[in-house]
Amino acid sequence: SDKKPMVNYWLHTGFLMVGGEKMAKSLGNFVTIRDMLEDYDPEVLRFFFASTHYRSPIDYTENSLQQAKNSLDTLYTALDNLKELQIKEDGEPSEEEKELRKQLQETERRFLSAMDDDFNAPLAISHLFDLSREINLFAAQELEINGGLLTEIFNTFRELGGLLGILQREQEPVEEELVEELVEMMIELRDELRKRKDFATSDRIRAELRRLGIVLEDTPKGIRWRRR
């Protein structure tokens, strides 16, 4: 037919084990993929299966599936932390950015090396966690980041994760209307604080909004805000 094949190669994993026994219909201890998908996202299942080397048996438990979900959430959290950083204007990369780029390149090299070594997916995944820790450390310092580096990190995560069918979810954007409402609410709160002469808290709100990319400007007609 003219239809493209679903895949070019099929890979058989080790036995799926339940309580020390092979999962089998005859034993009545089996669970279907359809059943699993009622409780877990497809990416969680892919992560679960990829976390064990294909030559080894896979121990199926609800706890192991939940651990797979939590681990996958950890990787997505690192990307969420990265998204919250301020994009810096053009300029020389900081030492922290240089180190992060170095870690990114090293992660890609190690990930692909692990996959080339008898499809060692568990080792490859561990390198993604190494990078996620570096991202979290960078984000914790609330540093600005070059837009090109930010895009490169997202693309690399997506590309490497795509080899295992994970990290492909589209991040849901925050609705613009909601952003506007929240900013207006913070402006009203800040104005009320200034009337009470609580200038310290008022200035903190202004600084935090600026960190998030929202600049407040005092005008004859009142406070106006814009994005940086």
Find out if CATH 3.30.420.80 is the number for domain 16-162. Answer: no
What does the pLDDT profile of the chain (228 residues) look like in tens digits? 567 887 888 888 889 999 889 998 888 888 888 998 988 999 999 999 999 999 999 999 999 999 999 999 999 999 989 888 888 877 789 999 999 999 999 999 999 999 999 999 999 999 999 999 999 999 999 889 999 999 999 999 999 999 999 999 875 544 566 778 888 898 899 989 989 999 999 989 888 888 777 888 877 777 888 776
Query: What is the largest distance, in Å, between two alpha-carbon atoms of the chain?
Result: 80
Boundaries of every domain in the chain: 16-162, 176-227
Neighbour-count burial of 124, counting CB atoms closer than 10 A to its CB (0-12 exposed, 13-18 middle, 19+ buried) = buried
State the distance between the two ends of the chain, measured CA to CA, in whole angstroms: 54
Phi, psi at residue 91, to the nearest 5°?
170, 180
| 188 vs 222: CA distance, rounded Å | 11
pTM for the structure as a whole: 0.71
Nearest to 194 by CA among 161, 223, 155: 223
